[in-house]
Amino acid sequence: MPSQPRSPVETTLLLGAIADDFTGATDVANNLARQGMRVVQVIGVPSPAFDPGLVDAVVVALKSRSIAAADAVSQSLQALAWLRGRGCQQVVFKYCSTFDSTDAGNIGPVADALLRALDHDFALVCPAFPENRRTVYKGYLFAGDVLLNESGMENHPLNPMRDANLLRVLARQTDGRVGLVPFETVRQGVSVTRAALDRLRADGYRYAVADVLEDAHLHVLAEAVAEHPLVTGGSGIALGLPENFRRAGRLGAAADAADLGSFAGPAAVLSGSCSRATLGQVAYMRERCPAFALDALSLAEGQDQVAEALQFAREYVGDGPVLIYASADPATVKRAQDALGVAEAGSLIESALAAISRGLVEQGVRRLVVAGGETSGAVVSALGVNALRIGRQIDPGVPWTATTGSDSVALALKSGNFGGEDFFLRAFQVL
């Protein structure tokens, strides 16, 4: 990383991030903003002419987590080319803190391709985010108090995570060797950790999974990879990276997140996530607010649930936020998937929620919470959003954002597993 002091007119970006889903993108953007970077999140790869304004970091939000690996690779490489065109010297490949992927990818194939394009041969693998109770010990990923494969993620509709050992999971997705930087190393600080990373690289490893139990370990790792062109991980590692630029004199003191201005008017929650956390949040809101449930099998039979949901919203939306959800327990999801196929069931729901979001905004909704990464991707695409400003954090990993341009809509894109039980209702108090 160049250590020239940053001139006030410098337009090169310090850091770029490529996120494999839209909630993940706001998550990493939020953590960079909390550490004092001016961040903009762009939806998809921007056009060559796109001007992000005077910012320190751009997060490119892709919807590449659950598509064919070749497509994920090609989109990620386009994002990389755009970021490098803007002078970024370090790029974060942001995937889920629960390492959402299958044996077909896409974490391994995308990381491999990014390394090749950067003409480099080694990268950190750090999904940990202790603030959201994602920790890694001996290479095993924990979500809360349990191993990943006991956390509910084993029932994920698109990428069931049935193995908590990240070395094994990643090894099935890459031909590169995957090693471990154990907790005993990380806790000894930056120089010991950097030396361990260098040793793994010299021994021919392509990836180093890192143990992380608390934020201090993220900061150690972030400093140890200050010179790495590619860093891969969840949003947690982004908590430590801005400090590298500050230390090099290229980033000013931390400032408050952008004030998004005031948003009033109709409010709605759209939920397509079936994670445990979201199911709890849906149950909480359903007891307190008008709610409308979508069902994949009814949609497949041709029932016009989009029109029904919009009619429901017209009736109730003036009285406070309304909830429209497809979120369902694992048995219901399985019934739909057995009948329709995993991809078809997911895409029916995503298309319906996307069409509903468009209708809601046409009906005047200006504050929208969306739960689920794939769901958020579908909604944001349907709304034709190009870029998002990052605002105040609601819960760790989830900030309010606002669409750029006129007639701005406030959007909170909530990762499936994030947020407290009352998240949906509390979100509107934070805005």
Ligand X SMILES: Nc1ncnc2c1ncn2[C@@H]1O[C@H](COP(=O)(O)OP(=O)(O)OP(=O)(O)O)[C@@H](O)[C@H]1O
Ligand Y SMILES: O=C(O)[C@@H](O)C(=O)CO
Q: Which residues bind ligand X (CB under 6 A)?
A: 21, 23, 96, 156-158, 272-275, 278, 296, 326-328, 332-333, 336-337, 345-346, 349-350, 372-375, 415-417
Query: What CA–CA distance (Å, rounded) separates 119 from 412?
Result: 36
**Residue 196's binding partner, choosing from ligand Y, ligand X, none, with beta-carbon cut-off 5 to 8 A by kind?**
none
Taking a C-beta distance cutoff of 8 angstroms, is the pair 430, 394 a contact? yes
- List the alpha helices (DSSP H) in 86-118: 107-117
Contact 123, 50 (CB under 8 A): no
| Residue 97 Cβ vs ligand X, minimum distance, rounded to whole Å | 9
Q: Which partner in ligand X, ligand Y, none is near 274 (CB below 5 to 8 A by kind)? A: ligand X
**Among candidate residues 298, 136, 296, the one with its CA nearest the CA of residue 208:** 136
Note whether 239 and 35 are within 8 A (CB): yes
Judged by beta carbon, residue 403 or residue 417, the one nearer ligand Y is 417
- Give which of ligand Y, ligand X, none residue 346 binds (C-beta under 5 to 8 Å, depending on kind): ligand X
As measured in angstroms, the least distance from the Cβ of 75 to ligand X is 17
Nearer to ligand Y, 21 or 295 (CB): 21
Number of residues forming the site for ligand Y (CB under 6 A): 13
Stretches 18-26, 85-93, 182-190, 207-215: which one binds ligand Y (CB under 6 A)? Answer: 18-26
CB of 235 to ligand Y, least distance (A): 5
Which residues, 6+ apart, have CB-to-CB distance to 20 below 8 Å?
Answer: 62, 63, 64, 65, 72, 76, 93, 94, 95, 96, 106, 107, 110
Which range binds ligand Y by CB under 6 A, 21-29, 114-122, 250-258, 346-354?
Answer: 21-29
* CB-based contact 25:68 (threshold 8 Å): no
Alpha-carbon distance of 182 to 380, in angstroms, equals 39
Nearest approach in angstroms of CB 135 to ligand Y is: 13
Q: Tell the smallest beta-carbon distance from residue 253 to ligand X (Å).
A: 32
Residues 114 and 90: beta-carbon distance below 8 Å: no
Q: Which residues contact 137 (CB under 8 A, 6 or more apart)?
A: 183, 211, 213
Distance CA 409, CA 50 (A): 21
Complex with ligand X: residue 115 or 390, whichever CB lies closer: 390
- Least separation in angstroms between residue 264's CB and ligand Y is 28
Residue 72-111 contact track with ligand Y, rule CB under 6 A, x = bound: ------------------------xxx-------------
The packing angle between helices 190-202 and 215-224, to 10°, is 60
CB nearer to ligand X: give 21 or 56. Answer: 21
User: How many CA atoms are closer than 13 Å to the CA of 52, on its beta-carbon side?
Assistant: 32
97 binds, among ligand Y, ligand X, none (CB under 5 to 8 A by kind): ligand Y
The only residue of 21, 112, 211, 223 in contact with ligand Y, by rule CB under 6 A: 21
| Smallest separation (angstroms) from ligand Y to the CB of 429 | 22
Torsion of CA 400, 405, 408, 412, to 10 degrees: -20
- Residue 41's binding partner out of ligand Y, ligand X, none, with CB under 5 to 8 Å set by partner kind: none
- Residue 345's binding partner out of ligand X, ligand Y, none, with CB under 5 to 8 Å set by partner kind: ligand X
Name the one range near ligand Y by CB under 6 A: 16-24, 69-77, 114-122, 222-230: 16-24
Nearer to ligand Y by Cβ, of 141 and 180: the residue is 141
Cα–Cα distance measured from residue 353 to residue 133, given in angstroms and rounded to the nearest whole number: 29
Instruction: Scan residues 389-418 and list those touching ligand Y (CB under 6 A).
Output: 397, 415-416
Taking the least distance from each CB to ligand X, the nearer of 26 and 90 is 26
Report, in Å, the least distance between residue 391 CB and ligand Y. Answer: 17
Q: Which does 217 bind (CB under 5 to 8 A by kind): ligand X, ligand Y, none?
A: none
Q: How far apart are CA 369 and CA 428, in angstroms?
A: 9
Let me know: does 97 contact 235? Beta carbons within 8 Å: yes
- Rounded-to-5 percentages of helix, strand, coil across the chain: 40, 20, 40
Supply the DSSP string of 162-219, one letter for each residue: ---BHHHHHHTT-SSEEEEE-HHHHTT-HHHHHHHHHHHHHTTEEEEEE-BSSHHHHH
The distance of closest approach from Cβ of residue 158 to ligand X in the complex, given in angstroms and rounded to an integer, is 6
CB of 333 to ligand X, least distance (A): 4
Contact positions with ligand Y (CB under 6 A) in 209-268: 234-235
64 is a site residue for ligand Y (CB under 6 A): no
